[in-house]
A and B are shown apart, each in its own frame.
Chain A
């Protein structure tokens, strides 16, 4: 794949200089940093109320948080990946392919011994490294925050689970970066290059789950997947068709299992397989972008 290494290095340099991805990166890291503390304050407030009513003899039920995993504090990160992380990945992807069309540098690039597959996969690899670095930083922040809140160092099992959650997040975000690369290559205008993947993201994250589960839009902002519809009904039938395409819900399911969320049950294998299929399909579509398409001018 000629041009792979050059494109990989160049994409890293360009992404480091771009302002919008940097801004989104800081917002994402900021949200992840505070998410553990948001979880901690929610838990403290509920426990305080529970202690008071328990002392007053108003309940004999156990504290709802008793025995919950320390990874509870990382649950909010799931929704930040779906909301902020996905948007960051789309912007990164769109900028990667749109940059050369905007600057009209593709004419020069394609006059060099570079294949379009090597060029695009080099850029994709750089973006996936950027995403991996962002997620690695956010994982370290989560790990440290949970340690501070629980007053001890996280054990091996929860640490590995946090790492597995980062890998799942990387998979989902790489998929959205690919979506951005695709529209950056094919859109006739800069505005549609960003708008189309944002619409696709909102359909994947909100419309498809609603069609399949009748969930309220606000419910979809929860870090856990929407409750499946009763079997045999219309929503169940629709869900069997559209459910696999709701990759953010698949991600929430797999993340919920990995992070030991009590509200999520079942095996994560199907959800992870669908995430991999989502990324693989988009990779094939990006790699198949015709050479002439890459140097097509924008009509803005």
Chain B
């Protein structure tokens, strides 16, 4: 049996008396593109922060490629790539210097050849020596993806990857996600508000409401369950109003 790429069992997180996440149980298989949907404050970023080891859960367990996010955090970090919302870099350094640093942090001894390869994959070749100071949001997002995939992780986490991007940037990102999944078999977990992008990109979805998962299934089965509705948007609003399981 294949180890699930991502597995969460009864995951919970509280900030003082406020419960940001409660009883999240989820399983995402290898090679899936999973979209986590929900309103602002539903707990999407908290979920990603726990799965990427940035935040410890209050209770419950989460495994990435079989590694526990609390007790085997370093193994988890080695096997994931992460693109946070509004990714930031060192503006006074060049693209290559920024990527070299994150490559070294990921344990790569000589990341330069891989940096060239990744930048070419992202159609960013020839920009290695430019400083990031004057880069647009879309360009930064591409560098963000480059740092996330530099060490060839098995699982890629994208937190609101389309936030602040223009339509061209959104399309470019969608194509990149598709290629990462199809060419490298990367499992991708993304939080997003853009339902149209989820429809075009994801193979499975989950819907969070007030910290609780109200739906999780493959995209096909989700849409098939609502034969009268032809768009994910109307399905989303119906599922989002479902009682918490």
A residues whose Cβ falls under 8 Å from a Cβ of B: 2-3, 5-7, 9-10, 13-14, 17-18, 99, 103-105, 107-115, 295
Contact = CB atoms under 8 A, between A and B. Distances in A.
Contacts of A114: 77, 105
Given A104-B86, A295-B54, A112 B91 contact: no
Give me the 8 closest cross-chain CB pairs, A-B, nearest first: A6-B104, A112-B105, A111-B82, A113-B77, A104-B88, A113-B74, A10-B101, A6-B105
Choose among A99, A111, A115 the residue with the greatest number of B CB atoms under 10 Å from its CB: A111
A110 B54 contact: yes
Contacts of A103: 88-91
Contact of B54 (A5, A6, A17, A107): A107
Contacts of B101: 6, 9-10, 13
6 contacts: A6-B105, A9-B104, A14-B92, A105-B89, A108-B147, A112-B105
B88 A105 contact: yes
A122 to B, nearest CB: 10
B93 interface: yes
B96 to A, nearest CB: 11
A5 B110 CA distance: 13
Contacts of A112: 77, 102, 105-106
A108 B93 contact: no
Contacts, number: 65
B8 interface: no
Interface residues of B, number: 26
B114 to A, nearest CB: 15
Contact of B87 (A2, A17, A108, A115): A108
Contacts of B162: none
Interface in B130-150: 147
B53 interface: yes
A10 to B, nearest CB: 5
- Which of A9, A105, A115 has the most chain B CB atoms closer than 10 A to its own CB? A105
A14 B89 CA distance: 12
A116 to B, nearest CB: 12
A105 B147 CA distance: 12
Interface string B95-138: 00100011011110000000000000000000000000000000
A14 B93 contact: yes
Given A103-B89, A112-B77, A5 B104 contact: yes
B29 to A, nearest CB: 22
A14 B104 CA distance: 15
A294 to B, nearest CB: 11
Nearest to A5: B104
Nearest to B76: A113
A14 B93 CA distance: 8
B178 interface: no
Nearest to A109: B105
B68 to A, nearest CB: 15
B78 interface: yes
A108 B91 contact: no
Contacts of A14: 90, 92-93
Contact of B105 (A99, A104, A107, A113): A113
Contacts of A109: 105
Contacts of A110: 53-54
Nearest to A11: B101
